[in-house]
């Protein structure tokens, strides 16, 4: 018995922060090592990047690490390696990330050129991910096959955002000035050291990657690095005979040495060679994980009606049928309520909180609230997803920052009163605020007006023992 207890104690000590069982070393760099690990609760495989705090402090890289975390949380997409969580001890920082089993795309290309349809698929997924980043003001700046991973389904995942930049780093001249990237994939304007548009630099790198996938070798290459830089600067490359005329025209647009006339993301996505067999990826985030599905081609107005049918899929129809038998919503305590409002005034609990969200108190039944959210969603052709007392509203149109995605969660305030908390999960902030003010807020407020007696009773009689807590509290959010 004593031996068994000791074995269990040793096992617990071996777990990273009590959750992750560390496995083999996957790779290492100057400041970090990456290990395969297993979440002992879910049995899920993850990759854990272990960063030495002392080394990054000495290297002055604290701001760099913080920026990388911020970027990875901002760019959650099916074709981007996902950051699940960040943990820290006194000596180490741990990035818990998605484990991508297929390895680097570089290993596949090293064996020789790819078939055109395979190369096109990878390029389409690369462009989908990079354009998503650009719409969120994130620029990778080190795109190359070594930083593109393949999962078990053969889908591409962009990784290593260590050299990435965000739009708020741009100088007054509107350009970036940091010299970075991998020599063979770097754009000519970076070599010129006169400032560059980081979006156009990423597009150049995508062009080099496409050439490598199709040819099996680099468009600009020389044993002498200065000679290679001269070729890049002049844009000197030759396409092999097996490249189709459409592909050659696309490459000349991508590898245009003038960033002003170089192809843009929308132009790439409209290109005939690119569009062949293109599958538009739609995705949603649930329980902090990315789930995706594909639709043929680009979405347009006609697609919104077919998208709407997604809200009536079998699992969700089952949710609708059993809504009255679901467990009660999570309860809120007095301190939750304090963080919601500066005073216990039910009419003022719906507050516009920008990215932080908005809230409304209602005496309506939960089933009615969910039905009202579905009704509001249908008015603007949004897809609805439901899981217990969480409802996700997803726009079908690609805005400047991706489709608008809104999450609504219902909490129990009292047995007869609930709080509906609404947050933006993706998309443009202006579009979100307009939707809240014109559609969501009026619809939910109309619902509360249908239950005047319950709301009045709750405001005057509920939680008397906590009433003193709400008289002079400040909003903690």
Residues of the chain with pLDDT under 70: 1-14, 168-169, 171-174, 282-357, 396-402, 413, 448-477
Residue 433 lies in a domain: yes
Residue 414 lies in a domain: yes
Q: Does residue 431 share a domain with residue 411?
A: yes
Residue 456 lies in a domain: no
Report the alpha-carbon distance of residue 340 to residue 143 in Å, rounded.
Answer: 43
Helix axes 245-254, 198-215, angle to 10 degrees: 150
Q: Does residue 72 share a domain with residue 194?
A: no
Number of structural domains (the chain) is 3
Residue 309 lies in a domain: no
Q: Does residue 90 share a domain with residue 109?
A: no
pLDDT of residue 218: 95
Q: Does residue 372 share a domain with residue 266?
A: no
Question: Which of the following is catalytic: 52, 142, 168, 173?
Answer: 142
Which of 98, 122, 146 terminates a domain? The answer is: 98
pLDDT of residue 124: 97
**CB distance 408 to 393 below 8 Å:** yes
Q: Does residue 136 share a domain with residue 272?
A: yes
Helix (H, G, I), strand (E, B) or coil at 314: helix
49 is in an annotated binding site: yes
Q: Does residue 92 share a domain with residue 111?
A: no
Q: Does residue 133 share a domain with residue 146?
A: yes
Q: Does residue 136 share a domain with residue 68?
A: no
Residue 189 lies in a domain: yes
pLDDT of residue 324: 35
Q: Does residue 76 share a domain with residue 24?
A: yes
Q: Does residue 186 share a domain with residue 134?
A: yes
**Could you tell me the residue range of the domain that residue 371 belongs to?**
334-339+357-446
Closest CA to 174 of 198, 191, 193: 198
Q: Does residue 42 share a domain with residue 190?
A: no
Catalytic residue list contains 475: no
Q: Does residue 111 share a domain with residue 47?
A: no
Residue 174 lies in a domain: no
The CATH code of the domain that includes 49 is: 3.30.200.20
| Residue bearing tokens 């097996």 | 242
The CATH code of the domain that includes 385 is: 3.30.310.80
Global model pTM greater than 0.75: no
Which of 60, 80, 98 terminates a domain? The answer is: 98
Residue 275 lies in a domain: yes
Report the alpha-carbon distance of residue 140 to residue 117 in Å, rounded.
Answer: 25
Residue 64 lies in a domain: yes
The CATH code of the domain that includes 265 is: 1.10.510.10
């Amino acid at each position: 018995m004593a031996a068994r207890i000791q074995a269990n104690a040793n096992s617990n000590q071996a777990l990273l922060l009590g959750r992750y069982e560390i496995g083999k070393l996957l790779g290492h760099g100057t400041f970090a090592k990456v290990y395969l690990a297993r979440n002992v609760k879910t049995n899920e495989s993850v990759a854990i990047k272990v960063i030495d705090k002392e080394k990054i402090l000495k290297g002055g890289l604290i701001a760099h690490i913080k920026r990388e975390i911020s970027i990875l949380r901002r760019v959650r997409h099916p074709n981007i390696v996902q950051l699940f969580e960040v943990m820290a001890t006194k000596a180490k920082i741990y990035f818990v990330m998605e484990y991508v089993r297929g390895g680097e795309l570089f290993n596949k290309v090293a064996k020789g050129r790819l078939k055109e349809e395979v190369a096109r698929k990878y390029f389409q997924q690369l462009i989908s991910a990079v354009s998503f980043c650009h719409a969120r003001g994130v620029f990778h700046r080190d795109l190359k096959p070594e930083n593109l991973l393949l999962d078990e389904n053969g889908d591409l995942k962009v990784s290593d955002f260590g050299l990435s930049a965000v739009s708020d780093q741009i100088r007054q001249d509107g350009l970036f000035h940091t010299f970075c990237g991998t020599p063979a994939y770097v754009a000519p304007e970076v070599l010129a050291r006169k400032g560059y548009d980081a979006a156009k630099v990423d597009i150049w790198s995508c062009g080099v990657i496409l050439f490598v996938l199709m040819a099996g070798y680099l468009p600009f290459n020389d044993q002498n690095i200065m000679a290679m830089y001269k070729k890049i600067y002049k844009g000197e490359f030759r396409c092999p005979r097996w490249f189709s005329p459409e592909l050659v025209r696309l490459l000349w647009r991508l590898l245009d040495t003038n960033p002003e006339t170089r192809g843009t993301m929308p132009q790439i996505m409209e290109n005939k060679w690119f569009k062949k067999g293109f599958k538009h990826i739609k995705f949603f985030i649930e329980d902090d994980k990315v789930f995706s599905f594909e639709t043929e081609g680009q979405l347009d107005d006609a697609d919104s009606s077919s998208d709407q049918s997604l809200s009536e899929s079998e699992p969700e129809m089952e949710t609708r049928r059993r809504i009255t038998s679901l467990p009660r919503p999570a309860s809120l305590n007095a301190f939750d309520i304090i963080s919601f409002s500066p005073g216990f005034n039910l009419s003022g609990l719906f507050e516009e909180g920008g990215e932080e969200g908005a809230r409304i108190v209602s005496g309506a039944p939960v089933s009615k609230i969910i039905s009202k959210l579905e009704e509001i969603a249908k008015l603007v052709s949004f897809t609805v997803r439901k899981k217990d007392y969480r409802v996700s509203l997803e726009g079908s149109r690609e805005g400047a920052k991706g489709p608008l995605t809104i999450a609504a969660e219902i909490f129990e305030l009292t047995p007869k009163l609930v709080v509906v908390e609404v947050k933006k999960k993706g998309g443009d902030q202006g579009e979100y605020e307009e939707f809240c003010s014109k559609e969501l807020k009026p619809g939910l407020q109309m619902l509360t007006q249908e239950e005047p007696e319950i709301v009045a009773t709750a405001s005057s009689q509920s939680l008397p023992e906590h009433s003193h807590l709400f008289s002079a509290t400040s909003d903690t959010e």
